[in-house]
Amino acid sequence: MREPLPEEALRAAAEIVDDVRARGLAAALEWSRRLDGVEPGDVVVPPRRDQAADGAVVEAALEAAKSLERVYARLRPADVVDYYEGVLRAVSWRPVERAALYVPAKYISTLVMLAVPARAAGVGEIYVVTPPRGVTPELLTVAERLGVRGVVSLGGPQGLAYAAFQIGVDLLAGPGGVYVQAAKYLLSRYVGIDGIEGPTELVVYAEGVEPRRAIAGALAQLEHGPASFALFLSRDRSLVEAAEGIYLRERTSSMGALEARAVSSLEEAAGIIDEVAPEHLEVWGAPQLAQMVRNAGAISVDAPSPLLDYVAGISHVLPTGGSARWRGAVTPLTFMKPVGLAWLLADTRLREYAVRLAEYEGFKRHADALR
C-alpha cells in the first residue's frame, strides 16, 4: 500500500520549488551548487553525437528503443468520428506541446523508456532533466538520436522546477527518489505529471523451475535499495524454502526485503497479487496466471523482469505503491489527451433533451442558449 510522501521531503522540495518559481535560473543554479556541488555552465545542453560516447552502450540503448517503437507504433489511439441526429462528434487524441523527462544520473535505459513514447505520441519539444553528473557523452548521443530538444543539467526539485517554470513544459514524467517525487507532487499544481512513484516492488510466482532461476529477478529488483520489496509465491513449499534460503544467503545491507509464502492454488496467488498490485510481476511455469491477474504494472512470463526493464517491455516507468489498481506504465497515452468536438450540421431532437436536463439542474441560461 502506498505510503504518503514524508513531510520532511515535501517541506524541502517546497522550499526549492517556490524559490525557483520566484527567482528563476539564479535560484536553480544556487540549489544545484548547494545540493550537487556543481553549478553547470550550460543549463540546457543541446544533444549531440559525442565521439567520446561508448559505442556499445549507445548501440544497446538504440536497439532497446527500436524494440519499444514496435509496440508504441500500434499503441497510439485513433481518432473517433460519429454522426448522430444532426451532430458530428469526434474525439481527437492530441499530444502535449512540451514534456520534460526526469532521468536519474546515468540511467540511459530510463531515457529510452521515456523519450520513445513521448516521441511516438508526437510531443513537439522533449526535454531531459538530469543531475549534472548525468550529462554524459552516452546520454547526449542517445538523446540526439531520440529527438530530444535539450538536456537540463539540473537534478532533483530544482531541475523539475526549472523545466516547469522557465521552459514552460506541460508535463513532467519519470522516476526518481523521494525528493524528486515530492517535487512532482508539488508541481502538479502547475503542470501535468505521470504519477508519484515509490520504491521498486516485485511479486514472483514460480513452479516447476530451478530455485536460482526463480529468485534471480527478485534479487535484481531488490538491488534498487533497502526500501525495495519482493514477495515470492509458489504452490511448491520446497521451492518457497529454497528461494528464501538463497535470498538469506545473498542479501546485503543495501538490498530490500523479501517475503516468501506458500499458496494453495493459482486463484489464491492471483488474489494476493491483485491486492498487492505490484509494479513488477514475474510468472514462472504457470503462464495462465498472467491472464488471471488484474493489477500489475508489467508482467514477465518465464523471463526475469530486467529483460522487460531494458529491452522487452512496455516501459520500466511503472506504477508503485498499489497504484497499479488504477493506472499503468508510461506509454504514448501518458503524453496525450482526448479533445472532444461537436459540430451541429442540422437541427436535432437531442436539443430538447438537453433543455430538459438544463432546466432540471437549474441552469436557466443553459436552457436559453439551447433554445
Output the nine-digit C-alpha cell for 123. 510531443
Task: Identify the DSSP state of 143.
Answer: H
224 belongs to the catalytic site: no
Q: Which three cell numbers stand for residue 209?
A: 523451475
Q: Count the Cβ atoms, other than its own, within 10 Å of residue 329.
A: 22
Contact 255, 222 (CB under 8 A): yes
> Which DSSP letter does residue 2 get?
P
Q: Is residue 6 within 8 Å of residue 227, measured between CB atoms?
A: no
Cβ-in-10-Å burial (0-12, 13-18, 19+) of 251 comes to: middle
Distance CA 200, CA 220 (A): 10
Q: Which residue among the candidates 201, 279, 282, 316 is catalytic per the annotation? A: 279
Q: Which of 280, 316, 359, 366 is catalytic?
A: 280
d(CA 194, CA 179): 16
- Dig out the grid coordinates for 296 from the structure: 500489475
Contact (CB, 8 A) for 156 and 129: no
Active-site residue flag, 63: no
Which residues are designated catalytic? 279-280
